[in-house]
Amino acid sequence: MCERCPWVDMTKPDYVEYHDKEWGVPVYDDTKMFEFLVLESAQAGLSWYTILKRREGYRAAFAQFDYNKVAQFTSEDVENLMQNTAIIRNRAKIEAAINNAKRFHDIRQEFGSFTQYIWGFVDNKVMVNDIQSADDYVATSPVSDALSKDLKKRGFKFIGSTIMYSHLQAAGLINDHANQCFRKKKLKS
């Protein structure tokens, strides 16, 4: 049996699959990056598993995470999303996703892609942290602080440092797999 990160709940096969195949894999695709941004923002104050279980609902509700389409959502779309039981019906988070799609477009215009912009915060290479035990996990870092601050300056919402740290982990800019986890080495090679 493979050893995994201590936070993985082995009783939840979908959680294990997310850990084993997706969490921490470097993302260079803007649509995937936007997906993680929407999902991590939706997670604020909730568990990741709560959002993971609703991922397909988010995918359908937010136009397959097409940031160009989401940026065009109207107040009528917001009202429809507020009735959608497949997602977390939090008006501020829904409106933030739409706002962030617009800001996402602005960054793409300036940098060529969102991934080019965000990877610049880690000098275009994965940061690998030394995670010996669950106590070594952190919620923020100087990188997530700087990224959050810059995104806020650009008008993004629901992107505090903790959310951005989770985003950096999920999108593989930071490898926070535990040292004994089988994924740590696979992602480093």
Q: Which of 131, 158, 163 is nearest to 144 (CA)?
A: 163
Identify whether 48 is a catalytic site residue.
Answer: yes
Quickly tell me which residue has 């997706």 as its tokens.
Answer: 22
Catalytic residue among 15, 40, 67, 165: 40
Identify whether 3 is a catalytic site residue.
Answer: no
Catalytic residue among 18, 22, 49, 137: 18
Catalytic residue among 22, 48, 49, 95: 48
Question: Cα–Cα–Cα angle for 51, 36, 54, nearest 5°?
Answer: 20
Q: DSSP letter for 27, please.
A: -
Q: What's the distance, CA 131 to chain centroid?
A: 20
Identify whether 15 is a catalytic site residue.
Answer: no
Indicate the residue type of 37. L
Query: Which runs of E-coded beta strand occur in 47-173?
Result: 127-128
CA distance 79 to 177: 39
Q: Which residues are catalytic?
A: 18, 40, 48
